[in-house]
C-alpha cells in the first residue's frame, strides 16, 4: 500500500492513516500522500494494463491495498463515442464516460469501494453515509457484498426510485427531516460518538481518492492521451477536484501524453453555490437547495472552494444550468446518443452547452462528458415523453389507419 500519510490540504501537517475526517490543527480536509519517486519506478502503462478490469488496476495510486477477493468491483466503465451529439454541438469529438455501468449505476461505487476497504483494514463493521441518493445505494450494496452493516441518512424528500434502489440491499435507512446538509451535519456529529465508518466523514480522505480513477481511465481509454476538456457535475465538489488531481498525477508519473484538460463544472440553478463563487471570484457561500437535480443538492459543499480553484487552474469554468433545461437535456442526450443519464447528467450537458456557447471549448476540441448516474433512478423530469399511442392488436387496422399520416 503506497500511501504514506494523510496531509492537511490547508496547513500541510501530516497525520497517520487512520479514520479522521479533518485536520486536528485547522479542521482542513486531509489527502493521502504517496511516495512519488517509488511509484515512478514501479508504475508503468504496462503494469496498469496488466491489472484487473476495475479500479483496482490503479491500486498503487490509491490509499488502500487492493482486495484479494474483489467482489462487485467498480470501474473500467465504457468510454462511449457520441458523434451525432458532437456534430450538433459543433465540437470535434465527444465521448461519454458511462459510470452508469458501475454495480449500482453511479460513480459512487468507486469512492465507496475505496472507503470500504479502509473500513475493513481498520476493523470497522458498520458502513454509513449521508447521501443525496446514489451514495446510499452504493454503501448499501457494498455492505451487502462484504457482509458489513449499513446505515444511511437521506433527505426525507428523496426520489422514490433512489430510495428503493438503496433499500433493496437491506440497509437501515433514516429519512432525515431536512436537506442533505442536515443529514451531513447529523452524520458528522454521530461520527464522534459511534465506531462506524462514515464513508464521507471520517473515511472521506480515502473515499474521495476513488474519484481519481475516472481521470486515470479516461486517459488510458484514449490511448494514454488527455482530452482537451472534461465536463463534470458538482455537488460537494469532491469529484471535480479529484478528477483534476488524477490527471495531474498521471503527468507526474509520466504516463500520459498531452497537457491537463480544462475542467468544466455544472450546477443546477436551484443549488449553485460553487458556480456563483466561480463567477464572482469569491468564496463559496452556503445556500438552501431547491433543485430537481437532487443528487447535486448540497447547499454547503465541503470541497466547493477547491472545485473553484481547480476550474481556474485548468482553464475551465463552472456554469449554472436552468432548472427547466435539465429534463430536456436528459432527453437530448438520450435521443442523440442512446444514453439515459440522470438529472445530474442533464446539468452536465447543460454545462457543456454553456461552455460551447461561451467559446470556452474549441470547435476541434476532444471533450469527455461524465455520465455519473442513471436516468432510471430519476425518471420524473422526462415522464412527459411517455405518451404511447393506444391501438388494437390488428395488423390491417394498423397498416391502413395508424400508419396513414
Ligand atoms: C450522479 C452524481 N453525480 C455527481 C455527484 C457530485 O459529486 P460530488 O459531491 O463529489 O461533487 C453526485 C453526488 O452525489 C451524484 O450523485
Ligand atoms: Zn491543517
Q: What is the pLDDT of residues 377-393, one digit of tens each?
A: 999 999 988 888 889 99
Are 185 and 243 members of one domain?
no
Domain of residue 360, residue span:
79-105+211-385
H or E stretch covering 7: strand 3-8
Are 216 and 198 members of one domain?
no
226 vs 392: CA distance, rounded Å: 54
Report the residue among 236, 275, 278, 310 best suited for mutation to probe ligand 1: largest number of ligand atoms under 8 A from its CB: 236
C-beta of residue 280 within 8 angstroms of C-beta of residue 312: no
Q: Is residue 241 part of a domain?
A: yes
* Last residue in a domain, options 190, 209, 228: 209
C-alpha distances in Å from residue 53, one per residue of 42, 73, 94, 245 = 19, 9, 23, 22
- For range 154-178, the mean pLDDT: 95
Q: What percent of the chain has pLDDT over 90?
A: 95
Whether residue 342 has its Cβ less than 6 Å from ligand 1: yes
pLDDT of residue 1: 58
Are 155 and 258 members of one domain?
no
401 band by pLDDT with thresholds 50, 70 and 90: confident
For the CA of 303, the nearest ligand: 1
Residue-wise DSSP of 293-345: -GGG--SS-TTHHHHHHHHHHTT-EEEEE-HHHHHHHHHHHHHHHS--B-HHH
pLDDT of residue 170: 97
Are 241 and 324 members of one domain?
yes
* Last residue in a domain, options 192, 209, 226: 209
C-beta of residue 351 within 8 angstroms of C-beta of residue 307: no
Are 307 and 375 members of one domain?
yes
Residue 193 CB-density burial (10 A; 0-12 exposed, 13-18 middle, 19+ buried): exposed
Q: Is residue 342 part of a domain?
A: yes
89 vs 355: CA distance, rounded Å: 11
Q: Is residue 60 part of a domain?
A: no
**pLDDT tens digit sequence for 14-31:** 999 999 989 999 999 999
Give the CATH number of the domain where residue 299 resides: 3.40.50.1100
Are 86 and 232 members of one domain?
yes
Are 96 and 119 members of one domain?
no
Are 293 and 381 members of one domain?
yes
* Last residue in a domain, options 209, 235, 257: 209
Whether residue 374 has its Cβ less than 6 Å from ligand 1: no
pLDDT of residue 385: 83
pLDDT mean across residues, the chain? 96
For the CA of 207, the nearest ligand: 1
First to last CA, the chain: 66
Residue whose C-alpha cell is 481498520:
122
- Domains: count for the chain: 2
Are 303 and 360 members of one domain?
yes
What are the E-state strand segments in 36-182? 79-81, 93-98, 126-130, 149-155, 172-176
Q: For ligand 1, atom 16, name the residue with the nearest CA.
A: 295
301 vs 289: CA distance, rounded Å: 11
244 vs 247: CA distance, rounded Å: 5
**pLDDT tens digit sequence for 246-269:** 999 999 999 999 999 999 999 999
Q: Is residue 48 part of a domain?
A: no
207 vs 205: CA distance, rounded Å: 6
- For range 185-207, the mean pLDDT: 97
50 band by pLDDT with thresholds 50, 70 and 90: very high
* Of residues 310, 332, 309, the one with CA closest to residue 321: 332
pLDDT of residue 387: 83
Q: Is residue 130 part of a domain?
A: yes
Are 260 and 345 members of one domain?
yes
Are 318 and 259 members of one domain?
yes
pLDDT of residue 21: 86
Q: Is residue 30 part of a domain?
A: no
- For range 347-352, the mean pLDDT: 98
pLDDT of residue 249: 98
Q: Which of 68-72, 187-191, 401-405 has the highest mean pLDDT?
A: 187-191
Q: Is residue 3 part of a domain?
A: no
pLDDT at 405 over 70: no
Q: HSE on the CB side for 293, CA within 13 Å? A: 37
- For range 314-325, the mean pLDDT: 98
Are 101 and 119 members of one domain?
no
* Of residues 287, 295, 365, the one with CA closest to residue 330: 295
pLDDT of residue 95: 98
Q: Is residue 279 part of a domain?
A: yes
Amino acid at each position: 500500500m503506497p500511501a504514506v500519510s494523510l496531509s492537511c490540504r490547508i496547513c500541510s501537517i501530516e497525520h497517520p492513516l487512520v479514520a479522521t475526517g479533518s485536520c486536528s490543527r485547522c479542521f482542513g480536509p486531509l489527502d493521502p500522500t504517496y511516495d512519488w519517486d517509488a511509484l515512478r519506478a514501479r508504475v508503468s502503462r504496462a503494469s496498469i494494463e496488466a491489472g484487473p478490469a476495475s479500479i483496482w488496476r490503479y491500486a498503487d495510486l490509491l490509499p488502500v491495498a487492493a482486495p484479494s477477493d474483489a467482489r462487485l468491483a467498480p470501474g473500467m466503465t465504457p468510454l462511449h463515442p457520441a458523434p451525432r451529439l458532437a456534430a450538433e454541438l459543433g465540437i470535434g469529438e465527444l465521448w461519454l464516460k458511462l459510470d452508469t455501468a458501475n454495480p449500482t449505476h453511479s460513480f459512487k461505487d468507486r469512492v465507496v469501494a475505496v472507503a470500504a476497504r479502509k473500513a475493513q483494514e481498520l476493523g470497522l463493521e458498520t458502513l454509513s453515509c449521508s447521501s443525496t441518493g446514489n451514495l446510499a445505494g452504493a454503501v448499501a450494496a457494498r455492505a451487502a457484498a462484504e457482509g458489513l452493516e449499513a446505515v444511511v441518512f437521506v433527505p426525507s424528500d428523496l426520489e422514490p426510485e433512489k430510495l428503493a434502489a438503496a433499500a433493496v440491499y437491506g440497509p437501515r435507512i433514516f429519512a432525515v427531516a431536512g436537506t442533505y446538509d442536515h443529514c451531513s451535519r447529523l452524520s458528522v456529529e454521530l461520527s464522534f460518538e459511534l465506531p462506524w465508518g462514515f464513508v464521507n466523514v471520517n473515511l472521506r480522505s480515502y473515499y474521495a481518492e476513488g474519484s481519481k480513477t475516472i481521470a486515470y481511465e479516461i486517459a488510458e481509454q484514449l490511448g494514454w492521451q488527455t482530452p482537451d476538456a472534461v465536463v463534470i457535475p458538482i455537488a460537494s465538489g469532491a469529484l471535480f477536484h479529484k478528477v483534476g488531481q488524477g490527471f495531474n498525477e498521471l503527468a507526474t508519473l509520466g504516463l500520459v501524453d498531452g497537457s491537463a484538460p480544462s475542467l468544466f463544472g455544472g450546477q443546477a440553478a436551484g443549488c449553485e453555490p460553487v458556480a456563483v463563487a466561480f463567477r464572482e471570484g469569491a468564496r463559496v457561500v452556503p445556500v438552501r437547495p431547491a433543485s430537481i437535480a437532487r443528487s447535486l443538492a448540497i447547499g454547503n459543499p465541503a470541497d466547493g472552494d477547491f472545485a473553484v480553484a481547480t476550474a481556474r487552474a485548468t482553464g475551465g469554468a463552472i456554469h449554472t444550468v436552468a432548472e427547466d433545461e435539465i429534463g430536456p437535456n436528459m432527453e437530448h442526450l438520450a435521443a442523440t446518443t442512446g444514453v439515459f443519464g440522470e438529472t445530474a447528467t442533464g446539468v452536465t450537458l447543460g454545462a457543456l452547452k454553456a461552455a460551447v456557447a461561451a467559446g470556452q471549448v474549441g470547435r476541434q476540441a476532444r471533450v469527455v462528458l461524465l455520465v455519473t448516474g442513471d436516468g432510471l433512478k430519476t425518471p420524473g423530469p422526462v415522464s412527459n415523453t411517455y405518451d404511447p399511442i393506444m391501438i388494437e392488436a390488428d395488423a390491417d387496422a394498423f397498416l391502413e389507419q395508424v400508419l396513414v399520416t
